[in-house]
Amino acid sequence: MQKIIGALVVTAAILTAGVSCGGARNGSATGAGTASTGTAGSVDGATTGSVNGSAPDAAAASVPEFNADSAYVYLKRQVDFGPRVPNSEAHRKTGDMLVAELKRSGAQVHEQRFDATAFDGTVLHSRNIFARFNPEKETARLLLLAHYDTRPWADQDPDESKHKQPIDGANDGASGVAILLETARQLAIKNPGYGIDILFVDAEDYGTDNREDSWAMGAKYFADNMDANGWRPSRAILLDMVGGGNAQFPYEYYSQQAAPELNTQFRQAAGAAGYASYFPQSMGGAVTDDHVKLIEQGVPAIDIIDYDPRQGFNPTWHTVSDNIGNIDKTTLKAVGQSLLQFIYK
Ligand SMILES: [Zn+2]
């Protein structure tokens, strides 16, 4: 667990919530963000990101339309495999699907296999999946990442009898992956002209309370080996829990410490895309998540995560309610369009 920062006010509600998709959750109570969802996130139906260089408004046309329906289908495909717990058939099949989809988008795809020993001694046969767009561009690469494994236990469910059940992980895991798969599809349609990597990390969510190193084992493996592989990015954006209802994405503490400029740039892009209301100008909590492993190796990285210091994570977090019925396509649209705006601006 990262040390508690003095400036942050630790709230009892958050502490009781225990561990996370990351660990330390202590939030400032100073957030000015509202809890309401933005209004701009209408789902676009028909328009996919077709190449269209002829539109009169060149500035507007330069950013492709993020197709939330396509992202939703990518999300559903993951959930339909079942819980993606490491060592399970559903986990393996999901990994294979991700590799196939990324290859279909024309990326250079690497499968990074490793065994990670969990806090309970279980050996997790793990696989990070890493896709490079414009691999010949050696500098100033942007890394986009999300975890694709899901938590084996619904240990935050209000019904204690469900604590040993696995979760569907529609939001916690599948949402971030879905947005990045749709982003990969857009990258294939319209080349941004610089180096972008998409990383699906494994073994994020098998952690336990009070063991900081039990989370984000896939991200750690990637970060520990990225220099040897020549894969160091210049900056990184992590998406985690980006498909829930009433989502809000205030600044995450470690992100703001390590990469304030990147945070500002991303929020400017969200504003330009019309989704500022999802990204309040307030401090959220300090969330131990995959981005911290990159920060520890010197990569400026931010975490776009639905975490409000007063309400904690989305209420479905680590419960059996983290299912596709609680996914809000307008949230996928807001985050996905903001990301495309950032990429193509
Ligand atoms: Zn989680």
How far, in Å, from the CA of 312 to the mean position of ligand 1?
13
How far, in Å, from the CA of 82 to the mean position of ligand 1?
16
Q: Is there a domain that residue 164 lies in?
A: yes
Q: Is there a domain that residue 40 lies in?
A: no
How far, in Å, from the CA of 25 to the mean position of ligand 1?
13
pLDDT, residue 21, reads 52
pLDDT, residue 41, reads 30
Q: Is there a domain that residue 41 lies in?
A: no
Q: Is there a domain that residue 2 lies in?
A: no
Residues 6+ apart with CB under 8 A from 145: 180, 198, 199, 200, 201, 219, 236, 237, 238, 239, 290, 291
- The candidate with the shortest Cα–Cα distance to 7, out of 291, 251, 259, 300, is 251
How far, in Å, from the CA of 150 to the mean position of ligand 1?
7
At 265-321, the pLDDT tens digits run: 999 999 999 999 999 999 999 999 999 999 999 999 999 999 988 889 999 999 999
Secondary structure (DSSP) of 329-341: HHHHHHHHHHHHH
Helix (H) or strand (E) holding 315: none
How far, in Å, from the CA of 77 to the mean position of ligand 1?
19
Q: What residues form DSSP beta bridges with 313?
A: 307
Q: How many domains is the chain partitioned into structurally?
A: 1
For 204, the token pair is: 């994020």
pLDDT, residue 61, reads 57
How far, in Å, from the CA of 203 to the mean position of ligand 1?
10
Collapsing DSSP states into helix, strand and coil, what is residue 17?
A: coil
Task: Give the type of residue at 297.
Answer: Q
Task: Give the type of residue at 180.
Answer: L
CATH number at residue 294: 3.40.630.10
How far, in Å, from the CA of 58 to the mean position of ligand 1?
40
How far, in Å, from the CA of 275 to the mean position of ligand 1?
25
> Which residues, by Cβ under 5 Å, contact ligand 1, an ion?
21, 172, 205
Q: Is there a domain that residue 37 lies in?
A: no
**Rounded distance, CA 166 to CA 154, Å?**
6
- CB count in 10 Å sphere of residue 164: 11
277 backbone φψ class: left, alpha, beta (φ>0; ψ -120 to 50): alpha
Q: Is there a domain that residue 263 lies in?
A: yes
At 138-181, the pLDDT tens digits run: 999 999 999 999 999 999 999 999 999 999 999 999 999 999 99
Domain extent, residue 158, equals 12-30+48-344
For 94, the token pair is: 């999901």
- CB count in 10 Å sphere of residue 315: 15
How far, in Å, from the CA of 186 to the mean position of ligand 1?
27
Is the distance from CB of 326 to CB of 244 less than 8 angstroms?
Answer: yes
Helix (H) or strand (E) holding 344: helix 329-344
Q: Is there a domain that residue 198 lies in?
A: yes
- Name the more confident of 156 and 6: 156
pLDDT, residue 30, reads 30
Task: Give the type of residue at 261.
Answer: E
Q: Is there a domain that residue 136 lies in?
A: yes
How far, in Å, from the CA of 278 to the mean position of ligand 1?
20
- The reported pTM is 0.85
